[in-house]
Chains A and B, each alone.
Chain A
Amino acid sequence: MSISSDAPTGPSSPKSSRKELPDVGNPAADKIFSGISLAAGILILVVLAAVAIFLVAQALPVFTADSEDLSQGSFLKYIYPLVIGTLIASAIALLLATPVGIGVALYISHYAPKKISQAVGYVIDLLAAIPSVIFGAWGASVLAPKIVPFYDWLATYFGFIPIFEGPASQTGKTILTAGIVLGIMILPIITAMCREIFVQTPLLQQEAALGLGATRWEMIRMTVFPFARTGIVSSVMLALGRALGETMAVTLVLASGPLTASLIKSGNQTFASEIALNFPEAYGIRMSELIAAGLVLFVITLVVNVIARMITSRYKEFSGAN
């Protein structure tokens, strides 16, 4: 350090700042940013709470109403076919879309040549952007009529199983068709998320498996799947969220009706479709009933998410995060 001369060295004399640390960055900006991100976090909770409060408040009259005012005599009687119908449609969608989605994601991330994988990935993203009403229209006008012979075949040969009991619907507008359309709709969600996670599997781990003499499939089972387990569950849950709440496609594809065990007869109904179909003409207690149905759907979605969290946290110790 040189001895400072008396002559001023410039407008900002170094004398004053010499003893302190230089002013790097901007603490005010830091505070503002942390405030903004905190506000964003709180906003999500507020919205969630507001939705819950709205649903509960609007649904309350149903639970105190006289039984003759309700459409089915009791709310439980009204709600349980919807619960079952919604869960069946979503389950069919997940059963179809999960293995295919994971398979396509694996093909893109680990099997396809680079050029093809980019093209396929792009197409999958496009599929995700198609509005649900288009899927619904396609399902109702193309898929449903075409699939009738298959349902007839199922009814003939597997009719002894209650879920394939005939006679099959001759319009094809059944809960199974709705499930298939939902499956196609959620496929890109699962594929896109899984692909993102699969490609992040550490190369070093993949090489460790290959170096031990693993085939490519064994390498995927040893490293990619364990690494991606949490992500796969998340993607499936996100897809399930969409399937549970999907309105337009189901409304167009499904000829709704009372609860039946058979998947290939017309009948059954889902929450979202039930609400959408009846909401415009509902008032008073009927309106509350529909909103209460919405509340039940909301709770189901929450429960599904909690279960998913529990599944993924069970593997925390072995996640590699330690």
Chain B
Amino acid sequence: MSKRIDVENLNVYYGDFLAVEDVNMTIDARSVTAFIGPSGCGKSTFLRTLNRMHEVIDGAYAKGKVLLDGEDLYGRGVDPVKVRSQIGMVFQRPNPFPTMSIRENVLAGVKLNNRKISKSDADELVESSLRGANLWNEVKDRLDKPGSGLSGGQQQRLCIARSIAVKPDVILMDEPCSALDPISTLAVEDLINELKEEYTVVIVTHNMQQAARVSDKTAFFNIAGTGKPGKLIEYAPTQEIFNNPKEKATEDYVSGRFG
């Protein structure tokens, strides 16, 4: 289920512009890894290269290697569609499919590529995914109602249920709580803690307390100035990043001196 990610010499470009420079890191299986750093430092861009979602943006491409349990995601003949079904993604804003019911939303990824699923299997999967996302008790009586009728926090957990329904190896989260209120944020954070039992979770966050609360390891990205590429400054266990960072820039950032 859960797989390890090794990133080797990864550079990300938007056209001629080098957005992220030379990242090397190893993300452990069954752990939560947080990416922090100021806006524009390339952490979201880098996150997207982990399941090739950056390719959706015109002119974006990556050079280097991203190995999922040793298998290069950028290897010859690797289909980005397949990569994304192995590495799920949760976005900044909750984005359930508005034309689908809650149940259909959960099954959306499962029914892709003409896969068929029997009704009883589907029922089971809907329940287990929604339970996995701590949403089952809130929505079990209205599975056929539109997903867009839920509150923001519920919608985000529905999106998480939708990604875990396809049984991915890794779940990427791009500031999943930035559009949520504190209570919903707490619900999602609790969920992240449970998810790491089964999945490798990578989360980008602007909220340093959140990184401290949920992650095992933290990567700090920084940028030397506008127009300069983002770089991975320091990558260490979360405790170390927040209490005893090696780099001056990390210390300045986590202590609130800038960013």
On A, residues with C-beta under 8 Å from B are 114, 202, 204-215, 218, 222-223, 226-227, 229, 315, 317-320, 322
Contact A114 to B97, CB < 8 A, known contacts A211-B84, A317-B146, A322-B146: no
Which of A208, A214, A226, A322 touches B95 (beta carbons < 8 Å)?
Answer: A208
Q: Would A212 and B99 count as touching, CB distance under 8 A? A: no
Contact A320 to B88, CB < 8 A, known contacts A205-B95, A227-B99: no
Contacts of B100 in A (CB 8 A): 226, 318
The 3 A-B pairs with the shortest beta carbon distances in the complex, nearest first, are A320-B98, A213-B85, A226-B99
Contacts of B163 in A (CB 8 A): 211-212
Contacts of A211 in B (CB 8 A): 51, 53, 84, 88-89, 91, 163
Nearest CB of chain B from residue A168's CB, rounded to whole Å:
42
Q: Would B112 and A214 count as touching, CB distance under 8 A? A: yes
Q: Would A210 and B53 count as touching, CB distance under 8 A? A: yes
Q: Would A210 and B56 count as touching, CB distance under 8 A? A: yes
Contact A207 to B109, CB < 8 A, known contacts A213-B166, A319-B98: no
Q: Would B109 and A322 count as touching, CB distance under 8 A? A: no
25 A-B residue pairs with CB within 8 Å: A202-B95, A204-B91, A205-B95, A206-B56, A207-B53, A207-B89, A207-B95, A208-B96, A208-B159, A208-B162, A209-B108, A210-B53, A211-B53, A212-B84, A212-B85, A212-B109, A212-B162, A213-B85, A214-B84, A215-B112, A318-B99, A318-B146, A319-B98, A320-B148, A322-B149
Task: Answer whether residue B243 sits at the interface, using C-beta atoms and an 8 A cutoff.
Answer: no
Contact A212 to B112, CB < 8 A, known contacts A317-B146, A322-B146, A322-B149: yes
Cβ-Cβ contact count across A and B, 8 Å cutoff: 85
In the assembled complex, the Cα of A210 lies from the Cα of B79 at a distance in Å of 12
Q: Would B98 and A213 count as touching, CB distance under 8 A? A: no
In the assembled complex, the Cα of A210 lies from the Cα of B56 at a distance in Å of 9
Q: Which residue of A lies closest to B83 (CB)?
A: A213
Which of B89, B97, B112, B146 touches A205 (beta carbons < 8 Å)?
Answer: B97
In the assembled complex, the Cα of A202 lies from the Cα of B97 at a distance in Å of 10
Map CB proximity to A onto B70-92 as digits: 1 under 8 Å, 0 otherwise.
Answer: 00000000000110111011010
Map CB proximity to A onto B205-236 as digits: 1 under 8 Å, 0 otherwise.
Answer: 00000000000000000000000000000000
Contacts of B113 in A (CB 8 A): 213, 215, 218
Q: Would A213 and B97 count as touching, CB distance under 8 A? A: no
Which of A114, A214, A215, A315 touches B99 (beta carbons < 8 Å)?
Answer: A315
Task: Answer whether residue B4 sits at the interface, using C-beta atoms and an 8 A cutoff.
Answer: no
Task: Answer whether residue B16 sits at the interface, using C-beta atoms and an 8 A cutoff.
Answer: no
Contacts of A214 in B (CB 8 A): 81, 84, 109, 112
In the assembled complex, the Cα of A215 lies from the Cα of B88 at a distance in Å of 14
Contacts of A202 in B (CB 8 A): 95
Which of B58, B82, B91, B98 touches A207 (beta carbons < 8 Å)?
Answer: B91
Contacts of B95 in A (CB 8 A): 202, 204-205, 207-208
Nearest CB of chain A from residue B249's CB, rounded to whole Å:
31
Contacts of A319 in B (CB 8 A): 98-99
Map CB proximity to A onto B39-55 as digits: 1 under 8 Å, 0 otherwise.
Answer: 00000000000010100
Q: Would A205 and B56 count as touching, CB distance under 8 A? A: no
In the assembled complex, the Cα of A208 lies from the Cα of B53 at a distance in Å of 10
